[in-house]
Amino acid sequence: MPAAEPVFRREFPVKGGDFAKAGAAACEIKELLKDLGLDAATVRRAAIVAYEAEMNVIMYAWKARMDLAVSPDEVRLTVDDSGPGIADIELAMTEGYSTATAEMRELGFGAGMGLPNIKRNADVFAIDSEVGRGTRLDITIRTNGHHP
Amino acid sequence: MSTPDRNYHAIHITKDKCIGCVHCMSACPTRAIRVADGRARIIDQLCIDCAECLRVCPHEAVHSHTTSFASLEAFEYKVAIPSTVIYGQFGSSVVPNEILSALRRVGFDEVYDLSSICELNCAATEEYLNEHPRPRPYITATCPVVVRIIQRRYPTLCAQILPIEPPREIAAKILRTILPKALGIAAEKIGIIHITPCPAKMVSINSPATLSKSYLDGAISIRDIFPQILKALRKSEEDAMMRHLFPETLFSGIGMGWSLSGGEIRGLKRHRAVAVSGIQDTMRVLDQVEGGLLQDIDLLECTVCPDGCVGGPLGVENRFLAKSRILELVGAAGEHAVVDQKDVSRLYHKNFLSFDHPVAPAESRPLDHDPVKAIDKAKLRDKLAAELPLKDCGVCGAPDCRTLADDIARGYARLEDCPFIKTAAKEKR
């Protein structure tokens, strides 16, 4: 993003295991994007991405910071967690693959659609993970560009 | 039938009665109320006619525009189609046939039960879900407030509203098609009136979201017509005995419980459906659906009143007793279908039961229509929120500090409206 471009930023701390607040950050992000006047389709994609990313942290990581940066052209979300990390990213990106426990599935999560779903709704998607330290997601959704 | 009005609202504040307290403002789920100059004011664009304000106002200053019985004089022939909620209003010794009969004596030329049409709607919904495997979940369109809230707060879910008209409109459409010919009376001289515990039905009638014109001519509140029904019931013991011994209407057990949360989906055989009731829970679940969840569910029934329509604010009997009575009637009516599946299929495939047009999102309300200015205003709003005490006292006239910050950023309020900021500024001087 060029420095001169106006950017709205906000950070959202997310705590691992905090199911009581599940979806709170994603909802706030969604409301913000509506207030910023983004089109409905972009808001929907961003809401899905934010929801999945937030749930991943709540289910698997210890804590994370979600950073939102919105410019007129794009929504950028980075999620930087301290957590167990992902040993085999390629496997984790496979639809249907999940390490979710029975309890998580009981709650309707852990269908193994999280990361692939994020990627599907993003225009740019990068993932970086280190076992024992954490995972970082870098997601961009273009507001004017076409979704691939 | 009146012409559609986009800004029509059923909920209004009577200025003379409002004392400017903050009960309604705190209760409003869409933060649509502000108090200024000692009076509450509703912001049209944000109001979804859920009537939470009407429930909590201690001064009866919030009222709903429903149809008065006297105004029906204009019609040559008056037809009532009461919500099945009415069967739960009179205790366990009064049977539905007696209530329908009493309504005739109140002055309706004919009264039709809705339970069979509810069953028809359920069967049509099943067919629609069979034929449309995506998207999931579909959301039912019975509650007009749910439709409004989706248009305003969840615009991306408009396409997930299941496009089958609710029973009250289907019934009115059938009657409006058949009665003029059957009676030899011009269509416009026949008044078809819903009787309901719900103020928002006036919204779906006057400002329909899915029809070019509603098939109903009005909605009378149960509360308004209750005394007349009671009087008619008391007057004639013979009639009561007749209705007990020679019941003339066949009620549908599948449709009878329609007004209770879960009633709309109870008759579904092959689909996974979930029922949600209450405004806060409905919003929570719609947030999840907008976030891509619940895709393993076929149908989501949402009603914003607690426990479903039976918890509507314009009923008389408390909703727990009404619910218990209706459950009794559901049990008595049994599980067998009263509607012929062939009739359902025929009407369904003729698109007789469908929306005229899909639900359209309401105009959005960004901080600014210019994206760069919107970003500036969002930054300003965050800065203002950081200065405010976050005590959400409501004295400024906004329901909470964040909403005041939002109002200031939009140019509708000033920071000095906050009593804490004002006092601090005074002390400084």
Phi, psi of B208 (to 5 degrees): -65, 140
Cβ of residue B386 closer than 8 Å to a chain A Cβ: no
Which of A27, A37, A44 has its CB closest to that of B371? A37
Instruction: Compute the mean pLDDT over every residue in chain B, rounded to the nearest whole number.
Output: 95
The answer on pLDDT for A147 being more than 60 is: no
Q: Among B312, B229, B236, B253, which residue's Cα sits nearest to residue B277? A: B312
Q: Domain holding A112: CATH number? A: 3.30.565.10
Determine the 3-state secondary structure of B207 from DSSP.
Answer: coil
ipTM, 2 decimals?
A: 0.86
> B193-222 pLDDT, tens per residue?
999 999 999 999 999 999 999 999 999 999
Whether residue B376 and residue A72 make contact (CB cut-off 8 A), yes or no, is no
Nearest CA in chain B to A21: B284
Structure tokens at B107: 């002055």
Residue B243: the pLDDT is: 80
For residue A136, which of A66, A71, A62, A69 has the smallest C-alpha distance?
Answer: A66
In chain B, residues with a C-beta closer than 8 Å to the C-beta of A26 are: 291
Among B45, B150, B283, B287, most A C-beta atoms within 10 A, so best to mutate, is: B287
Nearest to A40 among B292, B361, B406 (CB): B361
Residue pLDDT, tens place only, B406-424: 999 999 999 999 999 999 9
CB contact under 8 A, B292 and A26: no
Identify whether A80 is part of a domain: yes
Q: Which one-letter DSSP state was computed for residue B398?
A: S
Which sign does the torsion angle of CA B163, B167, B171, B174 carry? positive
> Which residues constitute the domain of residue A26?
15-142
As a whole number of angstroms, the distance between CA B170 and CA B117 comes to 7
> For the residues A104-124, what does the mean pLDDT come to?
76
For the cut 80, the answer to whether the pLDDT of residue A96 exceeds it is: no
Cis bond leading into B227, ω under 30°? no
Does B288 contact chain A (CB < 8 Å)? yes
Contact B256, B84 (CB under 8 A): yes
C-alpha span between A72 and A39 (Å, rounded): 11
Contact B293 A51 (CB under 8 A): yes
Nearest CA in chain A to B410: A35
B70 touches chain A (CB under 8 A): no
Chain B nearest-CA distance from A45, in A, is: 8
Q: Per the CB < 8 Å rule, is B374 touching A35?
A: yes
Q: Do A36 and B375 touch (CB under 8 A)?
A: yes
> Do B323 and B260 touch, CB atoms closer than 8 A?
yes
Which token pair is A94?
A: 């496979």
Neighbours of B190 (CB within 10 A): 20
Q: Is A48 among the domain residues?
A: yes
SS3 B77: strand
Tell me, yes or no, whether A78 lies in a domain.
yes
What residue type is assigned to position B200 of the chain? A
Count: domains in chain A = 1
**Distance in Å, alpha carbon of A83 to nearest chain B alpha carbon:** 24
Cβ B173 vs Cβ B187: under 8 Å: no
Distance CA B270, CA B126 (A): 8
Backbone φ, ψ for residue B278 (5° rounding): 95, 140
DSSP A111: S
Q: How far is CA B52 from the centre of its chain?
A: 12
Q: Which residues of A touch B406 (CB under 8 A)?
A: 35
Q: What is the pLDDT of residues B343-369, one digit of tens each?
A: 999 999 999 999 999 999 998 899 999
Beta bridge partners of B139: B161, B300
pLDDT bucket at B1, cuts 50 / 70 / 90: very low
Residue A146, pLDDT score: 46
pLDDT (average), residues A103-126: 77
List, for residues B141-190, the tens digit of each pLDDT value. 999 999 999 999 999 899 999 999 999 999 999 999 999 999 999 999 99
Reply yes or no on whether the pLDDT at B327 is more than 80: yes
Q: Which residue, chain included where needed, has tokens 């409109």? A: B169
| Euclidean distance between CA atoms B168 and B309, whole angstroms | 13
pLDDT band at A110 (very low <50, low <70, confident <90, very high): low
pTM, to two decimals = 0.92
Q: Does B37 touch chain A (CB under 8 A)?
A: no
The alpha-carbon gap from A5 to the nearest alpha carbon of chain B, in Å, equals 9
Distance (Å, whole) CA A118 – CA A105: 19
Sorted by sequence, the CB contacts under 8 Å of residue B16 that are 6+ apart come out as none
At A4-29, the pLDDT tens digits run 578 999 999 999 999 988 899 999 99
As a whole number, mean pLDDT of residues B380-392 equals 96
Q: Which of the four pLDDT bands, split at 50, 70 and 90, describes residue B247? A: confident
CB contact under 8 A, B374 and A47: no
* Residues on chain A bordering chain B, Cβ-to-Cβ distance under 8 angstroms: 6-8, 10, 23, 26-27, 30, 32, 34-38, 40-41, 43-44, 47-48, 50-52, 70-72, 108, 111, 117
CB atoms within 10 A of CB A126: 12
Residue A148 lies in a domain: no
Give pLDDT, residue B6. 64
* Cα separation, B137 vs B159, whole angstroms: 11
Tokens 């046939």 — which residue?
B97
Is A2 inside any structural domain?
Answer: no
Chain A's closest residue to B367, CA to CA, is A35
Cα angle value B132/B258/B107 (rounded, 5°): 125
B244 touches chain A (CB under 8 A): no
pLDDT of residue B92 exceeding 70: yes
Predicted confidence at residue B357, as pLDDT, reads 96
Helix (H) or strand (E) holding A10: strand A8-15
Among B155, B294, B368, whose Cβ lies nearest the Cβ of A37? Answer: B368
Lowest mean pLDDT among A84-88, B68-72, B169-173: A84-88
* CA distance to partner chain A, nearest, from residue B43 (Å): 17
Residue A4 lies in a domain: no
Q: Which residues of B touch A37 (CB under 8 A)?
A: 364, 366-371, 374
Domains in chain B, ordered, with CATH?
A: 1-65 (3.30.70.20), 69-349 (3.40.50.1780), 368-429 (1.10.15)
As a whole number, mean pLDDT of residues A37-66 equals: 93
From the candidates B375, B377, B383, B408, which should be mutated to test the interface with A, based on the most A CB atoms within 10 A?
B375
Residue A10 lies in a domain: no
Residue A33 in domain: yes
How far apart, in whole angstroms, are the C-alpha atoms of residue A10 and residue B352?
Answer: 49
**β-bridge partners, B64:** B11
Q: Give the one of A6, A38, A47 whose C-beta lies nearest to B290's C-beta.
A: A47
pLDDT score of B375 more than 90: yes
With a pLDDT cut of 90, the percent of chain B lying above it is 90
pLDDT at A1: 47
Closest CB to B292: pick one of A34, A35, A117: A117
In the sheet with B77-82, reading across from the earlier edge strand, the strands are: B110-111, B77-82, B190-196, B218-221
Q: What's the pLDDT score for residue A104?
A: 65
Residue of B149, B284, B290 to mutate for A, most A C-beta atoms under 10 A: B290
Element (H, E) at B377: helix B371-387
Q: How confident is the model at residue A95 (pLDDT cuts 50, 70, 90)?
A: confident
Q: Which residues of B touch A52 (CB under 8 A)?
A: 292
The pLDDT-based confidence of A145 (bands split at 50, 70, 90) is very low
